[in-house]
Every structure is written in structure tokens, then in C-alpha cells.
Structure 1
Amino acid sequence: MSWARAGEPIVEARGITIRTLFDQRSFHVEPYQRAYAWERAQVDRLIEDLSGAFLAQWDPRDGDADVDRYDTYFLGSIIVYTKDDKVYLADGQQRVITLLLLLLQLYVLIEGRDDARDQEAVLRLLIRGDHRFGPTFAVRIDTYRACFDALLQHEPFSTDGVRPEVKRAWHASQHIVEALRGELGDELQGEAILPFIRWILNRVSVVELDADSPRRGNAMFIAVNDRGKRLAPLDLLKEFILDDAPGDLEKLDTQWQTMIATLEAIDKDAPLDYVRAVLRAQYFDVDPTEESTWARHETPHEWLSTHKKTIWPTARKGAQVRLFTELLEPMHQPYADLLRARTVYTPRLEAVWCNALNGLTRQFDLTMAAVRPEDSPPTFLRKARTVANFVDLFVVTRGISDDSYSQSELDSVVDGLLPGVRESRTEEGLRDLLGSEAATWKPDFAALTELRYRESRNRPFVVYLLARLTAWLENGVGKGDPTPLLLAEPERKRPQEVEHLFTKRSGAYQTADPAGSPFQRVRALIGALVLLDGSDNASLGGGLLRDKTGAYRAANWLAASLDPASYQRGNTRFRDFIEEQGLTDMFRAYQDGEPIENLIRERGLLYRAIAQRIWAPQILGLNAPRTEPAAQAPERAGPDRRRSKVTLLNLLRAGLLRADSALIGRRQRIQHRATLLENGKIRIASGEQHAAPTRAAVEATGARSANGWTFWRIETSGETLGAVRDRFRPPG
């Protein structure tokens, strides 16, 4: 039998690095394809996986050749085809767009660094893709171009009126920066960033499948995505668990499918996340040599199979299936209620919604360790609420101290608490344990008055903090809880924005001490900020505070409290509530002409007092410890990150550095001076103190990133701090 036409070529596949993926190529997408849909959870998971794989191998002393020998990381497959001499994506659009956003943000982070010119040039070429036809991007979709342009030029971008997929892409780019800061910490701006970029480009790979034609590209997309690939780990887990079931398999299968359907109706990834949370809560200590990330393994059945004899030493028939009948099945419905509370602001579980907003995609590990199948629904709710409030307090105390509150930081805390939480038998025991831990976090919020707003660094946290303070007062005067309204991202409306009380024009206000802190730093302190509706904020422009307080009255009571009219007769609910809270003497109106430092300092103290009432242990359901907490919490075993092994305090105690040593650093021919203090911090010219050399360098120079260990030199010897660190040998 003969064929009238030649057969299609066999599908070709090749493994390529991220550098090759974007090298002189631009990807097109057919109009009918699904738009960009990734949310924070997917973005955070990608960044956590990439940074975790990198940090597990990175040593600050490694050179480029060493980085090029690091283990690879596989990102999965994409499907492409060619039409009219253009490359189209049939599958992988979400991943490719997110990778482009990652390259854009990495480019912004190193732009202008003297030691990053080569990497900067490479990134710019990859971002631009196939630019034979003028300036373009590696993902050539017109609707995203303005967003990509704003990121490349490091300019603001308004999401007003833009398509939902463009808004999601913009938010994803912001989540990428937040996740990177959480994972890499200060080293995001320091010496880790360049090796990290090199590793991303040269050691992270995808498999590219060439479909050759649009028709076969669509067929391959269906084949890859509609044949149970996503549920494969759960199917394998079910087979493993039910393998020794002595009872009615049909009934068990029905119960399993009901559980999966219930969770998947809320979130397509929820079933696997639920299994991981339960396994980690119950079996975290089965193999103490493993890192805590094991519970996020894509194939939990393999882990259970490996440790089968440890988990079920008696090997009696039916032992495995009890994992389902006694844990997974009875607890999945309460877990589903927690999942719903992540997206729907739910009374008594408000903190669950807040934690999800703050990027904590895995906040239920402690909850699943604390609850038990026999717990009544009210008991489950109270335990879940206590844990959620505890996590929210973690975010707030870390954010106020300008420390990272990322998922990896929370995981380190959870690692140390899991044993005690799992063994706590009562609600009171849980409150005791979490209360003792929280007492080590400086919950008096002493650092709040010095918190400074830096839009590119801590905007999400400052907005969150101001929203919670604002909502507390609104709720107290009887206007209800507006927290979700203050923090939600409306589709066709400007979100809430940070309002500076004082305009940028430094000469417009009297200062108590002209020789004190620079005006711009003073006006950025938390006490000089309120939260306003975005449209209202824009309409006020750069007006003077005396002319704005009247408009504040229509916004919210925290802003309105600056206006004298708020203290007049008729506002009895406001006056009664602040008297009830013992804050009457801390609230006052702005007096035109007064030194602005006075008002900012007093407002900072007011905000601190409100925070102490919102996050008071007894309000959160946490029991204060019966004895004074130690001055410093004991260090817990966490991921072995070499970057954090050596601190300036280590070098001082080892005698390699001397307190009060003068440090100098140069950037673009400008010399910056600082002093190394006996507490292991660097005091820069502004008077601020920073424990991390990189943070000190960034704040001193105003640059977006710098390698603090090579930037700072000891004035007397000319040796860099990094060179001194290389001579350090830990005791023992």
C-alpha cells in the first residue's frame, strides 16, 4: 500500500539551558491560547525551588568555574512549533513568561554594578530575544510590552484598566523580587546574586519538544496535559496506601475520590499540598538526616515506601491504609475550610487570609501537627486560629525589624516547633508553646518607630501594617472591619496607597534640628505615613499637610485624627473608643508650623501602641511565658546555608577585626565612610547600623545592589572584609 503524502517527522526533543532558550529567540503565542494565569503560589514555589537548589551548593569562595559544575535543575518541558518563520509556544507559556520576568528583575538588581557589566549585557540580550526587527522582548505579545518596558527601565507601572493577564504578570514580577529577598536575604544584593544568575543561565534547563506544526502542537498539548500527569503522584500514593487494605476497596476508593474532589474544587494543587502537610506534621522526624523540604517532594509515595519499616515497624496488614482512614480522610474537610479562608476573609480565621496575602503559601504545617482527628470542629477552629495568629505575629515582628518573613524563614521556625506542637495534647499546651516562642521575637514592637518606608524594598509590608492599624481603629469606632477592602487588589480601581504626610520639598516645613537626619529619611518614617485610597492619594498631589487634613476626614479615622475637627463634639464614638483604649493622650491634631519631627515621633509611638493592642498575646490566644525569656533565642537547625556561617561578630571575636575600625568603600569615584562597631554592626554616615555588610553598602550608596564583603575595606590595611572572612576558621 502506498501513501500519497510523506509522513510527519518524528517529534524532536532537546535539553537546553535558560541561556539557550532565550538566545536570539522570541516566542509568539496564538490569540486563542490561555492568557498568563500564574498567581503568587506558583511564582513563590518556582523561586523557592531555584534558590533552594542553588543555596544548597553555593560557597562564597567559589569562582565561575565552580558554579559551572554545580548540579543542574530541570524545569520541565515546553512545546514549540514554527509558523511563518516565527517560533510559537504550544505549551509552556506560563513558565516562559515567568522566566522572562525573573530575568528582567535580575537585570534590574545588578544594573550599574561595576562587577556585573558582563552579566548585565548578557541578560539584556536574552531579555530582548530576537531583536532583528527593532526593540522587542523574548515573549512577543503586544499586551505585555508596556509591562515589560516598565520593568526593564525600572519605571512605575499602573495596572489601572489593563487586562487581567497583564496585571497578573506585573504582580508576578513583584512577587519574584519578594521571594528572592526572602530566600537569598541580604546576599540578593551582595555576592550571591552574580553566581546565582550564572547558575540560572547555565545550569537550569528545560526540554524543548518541537511539534513542527500548529496542528501537532495542539495535539501534543492535549496529550501532555489531559492524561493525568498532574494527578499521577496522588494516584501512585493511593495505590501504595490501599495496597494492604483489608476492607471494602470500592468504598475506600469512593472516599479517596471524594477527598480529592473536595480539595481540588478549591485549588487544583490542594490535594497534593494537603498530603505533604499531613506527612510533614506526622513524620517529620522519621529521618533526621533529611532537610525539612522532603515533604514537598513530588512523589510522596516514594518517600513513604523508602521509610515504610520505620513508620510501620509491625508490618501488620492494614497499617498503611490507616494513614488514609485515620488521618487523611477525617481531616480533609477541616483542612478544606482553612483553604477557603485563604481567599475568603473569614471571621475568627482572619489571620489565615492575611498570611496568604503575605506570601506564606505553606502556613498549615503547624496546624496539621496540632490538630487531631478526634478534635471537635470548635476545637479544630480554635487551634487553627491560634496557629494562624502566631504566624501573623511572626510576619509583623520580622517586618517591623526589617527582616525577611518569607516562607523559608517561617519553615526554619516551624522545624524547631514541630516536635513540641505534635506532642501538645491540649489547646492550653499549644498556647503555652507558641507563646514562649513568640516572646523571643521582641513583641513589644520597639523597632516600629524607626521603621522607614522604602518603596522598592518594603512596600508590601508597610501597606499591610498601615492597613491593620487603620482597620483596628475603623472597627473600634463601629465602622466594621475593612481589612480585606484595604488590602485587596481591585480589578478596575486603584488600590490603597501609602500617603506621605509631608511633601518632598524640604524647605516647606520647619525642622527641629537642621543638622539632624536628612529630611527625606525623616518623612519616610512610619509615623509620617497614612494609608489612603489610590484615587484620593493621587488627587492630593504634593500639597502641604495643613491643606490635606480636611480631605483625610473622609478617608479613615487614622488619617482623620490629624485634623482638629475630628476632636470636636459629635465624634463621640471616636473619642470614647480611644479613651477606652487608654490612647486619648497619644492622639492629637497637626499644628501648622510645628517641627515635623515632633509629630512624626509622636505618631510613631501612637502606631506602636496600636500595634501592641492588635497583636497582644492574650488577643492572639498565646500564653505569655511564666518566666522571663532568654535574651536571645537558641539557634535552631535549619538549612545549611554557607553564606550565613560567618558574621562580622565572628570575625571580631576571633580577633581578625577590631572594634571602631574605620571602613571605606568607593562607588563611581565617590568615597563612603563607615565604622565597625563592637556589636558586629557597621555604622554608616547617616547613623544607621547594619549587621550585614551588603545592607550597609546598599544603604550607604543608594544603589540597588552591591557586594558588601568586597565593597568595604579596612582603612588602615586596605584589606576587604571578604578577604578577612576568608582567613577565618571556625573553632573546633
Structure 2
Amino acid sequence: MKEIRGDAKTIRELLSGNKYAIDYYQREYKWQTKQLQELLEDLAGKFFNDFEPSHERQAVKNYGHYFLGSIIISQKESKKFIIDGQQRLTTLSLLLIFLHNLQKTRLYQVKLNDLIFSERFSQKSFNLDVEERNACMESLFNNIPFDDTEQPESVKNIVARYADIQEYFPEDLTGDALPYFIDWLIENVHIVEITAYSDEDAYIIFETMNDRGLSLSPTDMLKGFLLANISDEAKKVQANQLWKKRVSELIELGKDEEADAIKTWLRSQYAQTIRERKKGAVPGDFDRISTEFHRWVRDHKPDIGLNKSADFVRFIERDFAFYSRQYLQLREASISLKPGLEEVFYNAQHGFTLQYPLLLAPLNADDDPGMINQKIRLVASFLDILLARRLWNFRTITYNTMQYAMFVVMRDIRGKAPTELVKILRQKLDAEPEVFASNERLLLHQQNYNAIYQFLARITDHIETQSGISSHYREYIAIGKNRYEVEHIWANKPQRHSDEFSSNADFYEYRNRIGGLLLLPKSFNASYGDLPYAEKLPHYYGHNLLAKSLNPQCYDHNPGFLAYKEHSGLTFQSHEEFKKSNLDARQKLYQKIAEEIWNPERLNRVVESYISEEVAG
């Protein structure tokens, strides 16, 4: 083996003036929303341990450091080929591009260009230089939408993860803290770069670090601790078999799911404290369970009732078995629609991972299936309403923004019966300052495409099912060649509306309002998107009910829809033309439909339905 070098580098040292390549046989960029969220949460949490608004920028050099692991490089002539670590380097590149764009409007900016690309003879090349990704990276850097149709998996994931960064980047980092955070990220976050000078040596290092690194995971260590405290050998064997079976089922669902299930269970039932967002604040139960749940259980034995051998048996055979099973079912419901658990899926569509400890919090191991389902539906419905209201009012639902409030809800609803649960959840919704009527100007912008898409899918599906039409929600959110897209009723032609708008900016603001949007197949926009409204209108009649309701024909011989219009009192009307006043009318209509869908009375109906079923049974 030739010379091997290991250098601890800051992000600036790693990326400035260096070019990294990926061989064609390397695997795709595969990070998903979960990994991206965890990285943002970890970075923000570490940064806020030291940040104070009163600090000068120079104080950042004394902030704590963050270790992002190691990467393995094969050095070939002037190029560095990534053998291990492209997932992190790709994600870091996306984060730097996002931060570059985020600070564009600021008078003083932290220079990031040389960490993202280099330029020679007016030719730009990215420091993470992968040919098939360059067009996509260029579009993201220039803040231009990129169509990833027919693109490789890596490019699709890059586009999706950049959208995740836009959606989940902590709001409290976007203000005065931003330049401090950028300084900290590039100067205080470190990666160890391990360099070999042949592929063979690089892969030997990679295999040694991965295949032979048989260190126990936190899940293994927790199991070992619990089993070691069971004195009855037969019960120990039985508990071990149950543990292995359930962990196997969770791993089948996805990587790290067994650890996530345990964290979710312990947080939901036992976390009493959470770290405050201020300098020097110590981690609470909620935080420690996330990073070292095996140690937390050992340190809190008496608090969670682990005193004698029988307690440890119960902890595995009753509690772990029950909550891990419920977690598994909830995760499955978040991936595909399950009858009775639709709200779990809806919340997951927003990437809201905090829902899982909340959904488990009111459950007791001796609850019957009907009671479990009722409690889950109550909490999931509460979250569905809360998230919709926040998104409608341009408020973020990122992990860091919502973490403390959701911890308080989780703690307050722990183990509660349904009737008490309804009271608590209704009080929390009633205490929210904003409802749908608080924002009459909801519009599509760069950061809320997914939220607007989900609003349109839910609104369209709701009015159709209420009119007696089978649900097409799965079709509306499906991904693929025939996917749906947000369609602007007004084409991107401000000159057609110069009689009502004196400036292009005013036109675009109105054009993007939700009342001027529909959800239609991608092919429709390609064929008809630029046409004047009068020419689009006949084609709208051939699509979903929200689009169809613009056309006068929708109000003839359509008994299901007309009955729904009548009993709901919603002001549906056709529009022969679509001027500013017509868009205003649709904006109000969409708001009223949203108020009907996300009505807090849903919570009471869940309880009433359960009581009726119990009486009937």
C-alpha cells in the first residue's frame, strides 16, 4: 500500500480550489428528506449552542466545532475521485448553493462562490464536477426551475433535496443569524479527508472502515443492557427473540427505522424536558433520546420503572412490542394511504416527521384497537389542521420551528383518554392566532410549491368526493410521466392584462394567487398553458371538478355536485371570462373550501363516530 494521508479540514479548506469527481460506476446520489432534515437539525442545534445576537462576527471562531465524518479520496493526477462520501459532499454543495441564493439581496454577503465553482476563461465548473449533474446544478445556482423529467436518479434526488433545503432550512437562521451561521459552517465544520493514491488502496480503506467496523449500534447496546438485567434465562431468550423479530420488521421498512422507532417510543412516553434555544442550554430528555437513547434509558431506570428483572421483561415484551408495532403501522400509513389513517399520510406529505411521537403519546399498551385508532385519528387530524393553517399563512413547519411547541403538545396529551384529548387539542387550535381568513392573499412562491400542490390536491379531491365522485387523490399526487402540475389559469402573458395591472410585478403577484391555480396533468399545461382563458375554458370541462367548475356546463345535469353546492353553501359559479374580480371570487371560494376541509369540528366527529360504533357493537 502506498502513502495514505488523513487531513482534518474545514469546509472552506475542503472545497476551496479543489475539484472532486465521481467515477461512472459509483452509486447514485440517494439521500432522502429524512437524512437532509437530520443534517439541518444537527447543524442548527450545534450552532445555536453558542450564537448570541450581540456577538461580533469574529466571535464565531470561538464557537464549538462540528465533525461531519470522513471521506475517502483516490488521487489521480490533478483530480480527486470520491470513493466514499459523495452523499455528504453533494448535500453540502446544495446547502452552499442555497445559502448563496438566500443572501443575494443582502448588502453584505459571505463569499461562497469559490466553494461552489471555479471559473477560467469565463467557463464555470463546479467543484463537485459530475457531467450529468452540471446542468441541474447550474439551474439551482441561478435560481431557475429545472425539469427533471427523464433525468437520472441522482439528478432527480438533487432537485428534490434542494427543494427540501428550501422548505426545511430553519427560519431562525434566515435573519440576522445568517452570516454568523455561514461563517460557522465553512470555518467550524470539519471533515477528515483520507487520501490514497490508487483506487485499490482507497477501496481497501473503504472496506476496512465499513466491513470490519463491527461496533455496536445504540439499538444493540440498549438490547444488551435490557437483557443483562433479566435474571430468568428462559424469559431472557424469549425477550431476545421478540426484540430480534421486531427489529427485523423495522429494518425491512428502511435503514435506521429500528432506531427511529425506539427514539419515537421513548420520546412519546417519557421525555419531560427539551433543550432551550439559547447559548449554554443543556440537552433535555427529548434531545438526549435522539442522540444516545441507550445511555438515556440506563441513566433513567427508576424514572421509567426499571427496578427489577420483571420490569425489564415487561419493558421489552409489553412496551417495546406495543409501541414499535404502532410505529411500524404509522410509518406504513405515511408511505401509502390506509383507510382511517389518511391524515397520517397527509402530514407525511409535508415531511412532518414530528408527527410520530405525537401520535404515540396518548396511546397506552392496554388500549384496544378501536381506542388506538380513535386516538391516532384525533392527533393526526389536529396536526393536519394545524399544518394547513400555518402553511396557508406563510408560516413554516420546519423541525426547528415546530420542535418545542410539538414537544409541549406531546407531553400534555400523554396517555389521555379521547374525551380529554379532544378538549386539549381543540384548546390548542383555538389558541392559534391565525386561521384561513387571516390570509386572503395566499399565493404560490418559490418556497411553497409543495404546500400549494397539496392544498390543490386536497381541495380538488374534497369537492369531488363530496359530490359523489370516487376519490382521485392518489392520481393527483402520483409521480411519473403523467403526473399532475400546478396550472395557472392566466398564461404568463402580462400584456393581456394591462387594462387591470399597471405593472408586471402586480400581475405576477395576482397570477400566483391560489384562486388562479388548478391541478391538471402536465400534458395539459404543455398543450394549452399559453392560450387565452376563453380558449382554455372548453378544455377545463374535460378535467377534474375544480377545473370543470369554471365552465357553465358543469352546472347542468350534475346532481351530485349541485346537491353539494346547495347544502355546503359554497359560492361555486362559472366564469365566462377570468378578470381580476373573477380571480378574487375563486380565491374566496378556495378559502371557504379549506375552512370546510380543515374544520376543528372534525375532532368532535371522530369521538362521536367511535361512540356510535361502540353503542352499535
TM-score normalised by length of structure 2? 0.91
Change (3 A) 1:197 1:342: same
Deviations 1:695-728 (A, max 9, x none): xxxxxxxxxxxxxxxxxxxxxxxxxxxxxxxxxx
After TM superposition, where is structure 1 displaced by more than 4 Å over at least 4 residues in a row?
Answer: 129-134, 227-231, 286-289, 513-517, 620-624
The 8 Å contact of residues 421 and 430 in structure 1, kept in 2 or not, is answered as yes
Say whether 1:345 aligns with 2:345. no
Is the counterpart of residue 251 in structure 1 residue 242 in structure 2?
A: no
Match of 2:63 among 70, 80, 84: 70
* In structure 1, distance between residues paired with 2:57 and 2:520: 48
Partner of 1:200: 185
Indicate whether 1:532 and 2:520 are aligned.
Answer: yes
Cα offsets for 1:345-403 (capped at 9, x unmatched): 22221121221221212311112211111122232222222212211112101011111
| Stretches of structure 1 lacking an aligned partner (at least 5 in a row) | 1-7, 625-732
AA of the residue aligned to 1:285? Q
Q: Which residue of 2 aligns with 1:402?
A: 394
2:443 aligned partner: 452
Matched, 1:605 2:605: no
- Pair 316,106 (structure 1): closer, same or farther in 2 beyond 3 Å: same
| Cα gap change, 1:448 to 1:479, in 2 (>3 Å) | farther
Q: Which residue of the partner structure matches residue 638 of structure 1? A: none
State the partner residue of 1:519. 507
1:563 maps to 2:548: no
Q: What is the letter of the counterpart of residue 608 of structure 1?
A: Q
Contact 2:19–2:128, Cα closer than 8 Å, also in 1? yes
Q: Which amino acid aligns with 2:7?
A: R
* CA–CA distance in structure 2, aligned partners of residues 238 and 473 of structure 1: 50
Query: Is 2:599 the partner of 1:619?
Result: no
Q: Does 1:482 find its partner at 2:472?
A: yes
Q: Which residue of 2 aligns with 1:688?
A: none
Amino acid paired to 2:394: D
Residues in 2 aligned to 1:496 and 1:295: alpha-carbon distance in whole angstroms = 41
Secondary structure of the 2:126 match is coil
RMSD between aligned residues:
2.7
Cα contact 2:36–2:165 (8 A) shared by 1: yes
> Which residue number in structure 2 is paired with residue 429 of structure 1?
420
**Distance of 1:167 and 1:516 partners within structure 2:** 32
Once the two structures are superposed, residues 206-252 of structure 1 have per-residue CA deviations (whole angstroms, 9 ceiling, x without a partner) of 12222432123223323333356686111111111112112322222
1:124-168 deviation digits (Å, cap 9, x = unpaired): 111116979953112221111111111122212101111122101
Q: 1:166 — aligned with what?
A: 155
Partners of 1:435 and 1:623 within 8 A in 2: no
Cα contact 1:474–1:557 (8 A) shared by 2: yes
- 1:19 and 1:82 map into 2 onto residues whose CA distance is 19
Q: Within 1, Cα distance between the matches of 2:42 and 2:361?
A: 24
Q: Does residue 1:441 correspond to 2:432, yes or no?
A: yes
Instruction: Find the partner of 1:36 among 25, 29, 33.
Output: 29
The Cα shift of 1:299 comes to 2.4
Match of 1:261 in 2: 248
Quick one: percent identity of the two aligned structures?
A: 28
1:672-683 equivalences under 5 Å are none
- Per-residue deviation, 1:11: 4.2
Other-structure match for 1:271: 258
| Among candidates 110, 129, 142, match of residue 153 of structure 1 | 142
C-alpha separation between the residues in 2 aligned to 1:10 and 1:516?
62
Q: Contact 2:3–2:197 (CA<8 Å) still a contact in 1?
A: no
TM alignment of 1:641-660, pairs within 5 A: none
- Aligned counterparts of 2:398 and 2:243: Cα–Cα separation in 1: 33
Aligned to 2:405: 413
- Does the 8 A contact of 1:90 with 1:218 survive in 2? yes
Counterpart of 1:598 in structure 2: which amino acid? S
Whether the 8 Å contact between 2:273 and 2:285 is mirrored in structure 1 is no
Unpaired runs of 5+ residues, structure 2, are 276-281, 608-617
Q: 1:294 aligns with which of 273, 282, 287?
A: 287
Query: 1:587: how far off?
Result: 0.7
Secondary structure, counterpart of 1:160 in structure 2: coil
267, 275, 285: which one aligns with 2:272: 285
Does the CA contact (< 8 Å) of 1:80 and 1:211 recur in 2?
A: yes
1:354 aligns with 2:346: yes
Using the size of structure 1 for normalisation, the TM-score is: 0.77
Question: In the superposition, relative to structure 1, how do residues 275 and 10 fare at CA in structure 2: closer, same or farther (>3 Å)?
Answer: farther
| Alpha-carbon distance change, 229 to 138 in structure 1, aligned in 2, over 3 angstroms | farther
State the Cα deviation string for residues 529-575 of structure 1 (Å, max 9, x = none): 2222222123223322222111111221111111112112x322222
Post-superposition offset of 1:602:
1.8
> C-alpha distance in 2, partners of 1:202/1:567?
63
Structure 1 CA distance, aligned partners of 2:274 and 2:382? Answer: 27
Quote how far apart the aligned CAs of 1:588 are: 0.6
Matched pairs, number:
599
Residues 83-139 of structure 1, C-alpha deviations (whole Å, 9 max, x = no match)? 3442111111111111111111111112353311xx23xx11111169799531122
Distance 1:297 1:232, change over 3 A: same
Task: Return the structure number with greater helix share.
Answer: 2
Alignment partner, residue 725 of structure 1:
none
1:229, 1:539 → 2: CA distance?
A: 57
Contact 1:359–1:407, Cα closer than 8 Å, also in 2:
no
Residue aligned with 1:265, SS: helix
